[in-house]
Amino acid sequence: MIQLHYFPGNASLIPHLLLEELGVPFELVLVDRTRQAHKSPEYLALNPNGLIPVLVDSSAASPLVLYETAAICLHLVDTHAAAKLAPTPGSAARAHFYKWLAWLTNTLQAALIIYFYPERWADDAAAIAQVKAHAEAKIGAMLDQLAAELAARGPWLLGAEFSVVDLYALVLCRWTRGFARPARSLPHLGPYLQRLLARPAVQRAFASEGIGEPLV
């Protein structure tokens, strides 16, 4: 059995979406951030970084405990290769898949973390506001890059084939919904997000986590 330790709308939504797309049995285990459950000794034994998500796969003789969202996604697509939610290993498409997965987690998500937690990089109110403003501007340029990629190659990030990087992009774009210029407002990117929201697996995951409007 697969267990996904999650909090609604968090980065854990990405593997949750993937599990729904795969159609495999899994159990959601709530990690209540509002009660600091992600800092509890029990949770830190699973992920010493105190971050969400964690995947526990007990289907093998020795249970696998895995953290880092990208690593969880790679594990799931590799162990469920028949679902074809990632290109064939060794192909050029797989290389681009790795590129976008790394870009989403190391570039876009990293900038979003700075936007949402500017106090980690500055002390006084004016500096914090400046960090947040600079982060939003950098994220805006990254959203333009995504929109341009979709305009050139769409309908999905890798072109004709839907993959887990689209689910990753959906969640990160969703995090911009409160921006002055959210992802949904960009040409090509807005329709792309609507295509993703129309997928039954996405709708099931959003409903399960109680995510309401605005969805993106």
Cα angle 47, 84, 160; round to 5:
115
Instruction: Say which CATH topology domain 2-83 has.
Output: Glutaredoxin (3.40.30)
Q: What is the pLDDT, as a whole number, of residue 58? A: 87
Q: What is the pLDDT, as a whole number, of residue 59? A: 77
pLDDT one-digit tens code per residue, 139-152: 999 999 999 999 99
Cis status, amide bond into 155, omega within 30 of 0:
yes
Specify the pTM. Answer: 0.96
- Which listed CATH number (1.20.1050.10, 1.10.357.10, 1.10.3720.10, 3.40.50.300) goes with 92-199? 1.20.1050.10
Please state, as a whole number, how many other Cβ atoms lie within 10 Å of the Cβ of residue 131.
Answer: 18
Q: What is the largest CA-CA distance in the chain?
A: 54
Q: What is the pLDDT, as a whole number, of residue 201? A: 98
Answer yes or no: are the C-beta atoms of 216 and 192 closer than 8 Å. no
For residue 3, the cross-strand partners are: 27, 56
Nearest in space to 112 (alpha carbons), one of 172, 193, 53, 179: 172
For residue 131, the cross-strand partners are: none
Q: What is the pLDDT, as a whole number, of residue 62? A: 84
Q: Which residues of the chain have pLDDT under 70?
A: 60
Q: What is the pLDDT, as a whole number, of residue 34? A: 93
Structure tokens at 169: 């992009």
Q: Which own/partner pairs from 34-38 qualify as long-range (CB within 8 Å, at least 24 positions apart)?
A: 38/7
Q: Do domains 2-83 and 92-199 have the same CATH topology?
A: no
Domain ranges, ordered by start, for the chain? 2-83, 92-199
Structure tokens at 119: 């106090």
Phi, psi of 152 (to 5 degrees): -85, -35
Q: What is the pLDDT, as a whole number, of residue 33? A: 94
For residue 29, the cross-strand partners are: 5
Q: Indicate the SS3 state at residue 211.
A: coil
